[in-house]
Amino acid sequence: MSGLSIKANEDRPLLGIGLMLIAYLAFSLIDTSAKWLVLAGMASLQAAFMRYVGHFLISLGMMVRQGVNPTVFRSNHFWLVILRAFFLAASTALNFISVRYLPLTLTATILFSAPIIVCALSGPLLNERVGIWRWSAILIGFVGIVVAMRPFAGGFHWSMLLSLAAACSFSCYVLLTRKLAGKVPVDNLQFYTGLIGTLALAPFALAEWQNPSTSLDWVIMLVIGIWGWAGHELLTRAHGYAPATTLSPFSYTFVLFLTIWSFLVFDQLPGQWTILGGAIIILAGLVIWFRERNQALAK
């Protein structure tokens, strides 16, 4: 697995962008696989467990292959590393429950409120200054969430709250990732991401365990963890070849990928309110990115 030293090579932006696109393609395959499995009758938390057990086994195999490094098992920020992994596992579990009831395009739209939530929380939690432009974008972004969810127009479903909770949990994961960046090796973060997700979800998965009914379902259940590990690995490598200010806008291709899979696999296209709400959220996210980029360039 890649280490943080790769950041010294941040001079190949096209390679970084390419890896970023493949990473979000892998992430889109996680959600598509999860929806396939839960519609086939599998418990949502069993699918979430398989996403992490695969991640953990690959991380463990890579670690053994490269030689066991004892620093993987200890960290000066141990509890923050554990909490970070827990927030990601919680986000996955909540998202996998919501995809059972909602179109992938809607869950993706709600999930992409995460950068807006991160910006809102970065002031009180990370002591980052959030000016009027970004606060305005935050408010606009929350308008986009309301438009997509339509709580007062008959289009609301209770699982939308789980999807929003998944976005909040993912935002906490992102904030802790920022806090730990440069302090904890990436190998440690990858290892504990798989380990904590596996341990946290194992009791729920085993209590509701159901063997897949077809060979295709078996394959999808077994590869969902590969998509998870590969996505995070590629995302890490992408940030080694290009700065975050270059890569961030390309994360919105996740919504595009899920729209394609939603149509091809489930014959679902986004409704007009999902498109409008998603457009507002993406606009707000791009405003936040633009302001952060300008501030980074000014330093």
pLDDT by residue (tens digit) across 143-189?
A: 877 787 777 666 778 888 999 999 999 888 888 887 887 777 777 88
Q: What is the mean pLDDT of residues 240-264?
A: 81
- Which has the minimum average pLDDT: 109-113, 132-136, 163-167, 280-284? 132-136
Write out pLDDT tens, residues 126-137. 666 667 777 787
Burial of residue 76, with CB atoms counted within 10 A of its CB: 0-12 exposed, 13-18 middle, 19 or more buried: exposed
- Rounded to two decimals, the pTM is 0.82
**What is the mean pLDDT of the segment spanning 273-292?**
77
- Return the top range by mean pLDDT from 63-77, 114-128, 136-150, 208-222: 208-222
Question: What letter would DSSP give residue 5?
Answer: G
Cα–Cα distance measured from residue 295 to residue 18, given in angstroms and rounded to the nearest whole number: 25
Other CB atoms within 10 Å distance of the CB of residue 294: 11
- 271 secondary structure, DSSP code: -
- E-strand ranges in 122-264 read none
Residue 74 has pLDDT above 70, yes or no: no
* pLDDT score, position 253: 83
pLDDT of residue 25: 93
Per-residue confidence (pLDDT) for residue 5, from 0 to 100:
36
Residue 237 has a pLDDT of 80
pLDDT at 209: 93
